[in-house]
Amino acid sequence: MIKIYFHNNCFDGLASAAVFTNFYKNALCKNCEFVYEGLAHRAGEVFLDVNFEGDENAIVDFKYSSDSRLTWWFDHHQSAFLTREDEAHFKADKSGRKFYDPTYQSCTKFIVEMLLKHFGFDSGRLAELIKWANIIDSAQFESAKAAVDLQEPAMKLMQVIEGVRDSSLLHRLIAEFQEKSLKQIIELPWVQDVFQPLYQRHLQSIDIIRGSAQYAEGTIFFDISGHEMDAYNKFIPYYLYPEATYCVGVSLSPSRAKISVGSNPWSPFPRTQNLAALCERHGGGGHPVVGAISFKPEEVQKARIIGQEIAMELRNSSRV
pLDDT tens profile 164-190 = 989 999 999 999 999 999 999 999 999
- Please name each of the domains of the chain with its CATH number: 2-187 (3.90.1640), 214-317 (3.10.310.30)
Inter-residue contact 44 to 25 (CB < 8 Å): no
Q: What is the pTM of this model?
A: 0.85
Residue 42 has pLDDT above 80, yes or no: no
Q: Which residues pair with 41 in a beta bridge?
A: none
**What does DSSP assign to residue 181?**
-
Q: How far apart are CA 109 and CA 18, in angstroms?
A: 12
Please report, as a single letter, which amino acid is at residue 80.
Answer: A
**Percent of the chain whose predicted confidence (pLDDT) is above 70:** 98
Q: How far apart are CA 97 and CA 46, in angstroms?
A: 22
* Distance, CA of 290 to CA of 275 (rounded, Å): 6
Beta strands 2-7 and 56-60 are parallel
Give the DSSP H/E element, type plus range, for residue 222. Answer: strand 219-223
To the nearest whole number, what is the mean pLDDT of the chain? 94
For 251-280, the pLDDT digits (tens) are: 998 889 999 999 999 999 999 999 999 999
Segment 136-153 mean pLDDT? 93
